[in-house]
Amino acid sequence: MMGIERLAVMFGGCSSYRSDSRSTGGDALSRVEVAGMLTGMRPHEVDFVYAFFGDKEAELRLVAHLSLVAHELAKREAWKAIEDAMLERMAYSAVREILDKRCKACKGTGFKGIKACCQCGGIGMSRIKDNGIARWLQVDPSNYSRVWKRRYDCVFVYVQDIEFSVKSIIRRSEGRDAILLA
Ligand SMILES: [Zn+2]
């Protein structure tokens, strides 16, 4: 079972856990298990966490969920002649972009030791360029910027919201454990 500390480090921005728990000693960290933390999450948020750690089935479930989201968006905005395959490509691309955008050098934390990561300039992530997304969606770049970019960004932002939500649940869980274990 992954420790909460590792999970926190992998998601970045949660490094306060170590300093918050100094009064409880190092052993406290190993007693906290991820399962407890996941209980507060919705199914697609749990899938996001598992997909983040490379679980392909969780990733497929997440993509299926997002395909439905894209489908709803297409219906609401009355997109014309949209194929399911296109909605699936949008969903898959958004998931891959979020999961892959992390800087490999610093694992998305923005730091190498105590210095800012020089690969990503300390941001911890980078978005894929428009041409790359256009290729993923199998549309030409001008069509992408004219029609698909705004649509794709809606789906991308939806995945980003899942990520934010997961991170805030992790932070809340850290705070709660710090109180319980103090
Ligand atoms: Zn970096």
End-to-end CA distance of the chain: 23
State the pLDDT at residue 103.
Answer: 81
pLDDT digits (tens, 9 = 90+) for 129-154: 899 999 999 999 999 999 999 999 99
Ligand 1 centroid to residue 86 C-alpha, Å: 32
pLDDT digits (tens, 9 = 90+) for 63-119: 999 999 999 999 999 998 789 999 999 999 999 998 887 787 887 777 888 888 888
Ligand 1 centroid to residue 94 C-alpha, Å: 20
Rounded Cα gap, residues 119 and 125, in angstroms: 10
Q: Most distant CA pair in the chain: distance in Å?
A: 60
- Residue 155, C-beta contacts closer than 8 angstroms, at least 6 positions apart: 66, 69, 70, 73, 90, 91, 94
| HSE-CB for 17 with a 13 A CA cutoff | 26
Average pLDDT value for the chain? 79
pTM over 0.75: no
For the chain, percent of residues with pLDDT exceeding 70 = 75
Model confidence at 22: pLDDT above 80: no
Ligand 1 centroid to residue 15 C-alpha, Å: 15
Ligand 1 centroid to residue 146 C-alpha, Å: 31
Ligand 1 centroid to residue 76 C-alpha, Å: 38
pLDDT band of 21, cuts 50, 70, 90: very low
Tokens describing residue 39: 């209980």
**Angle of helix 43-52 relative to helix 84-100, nearest 10 degrees?**
60
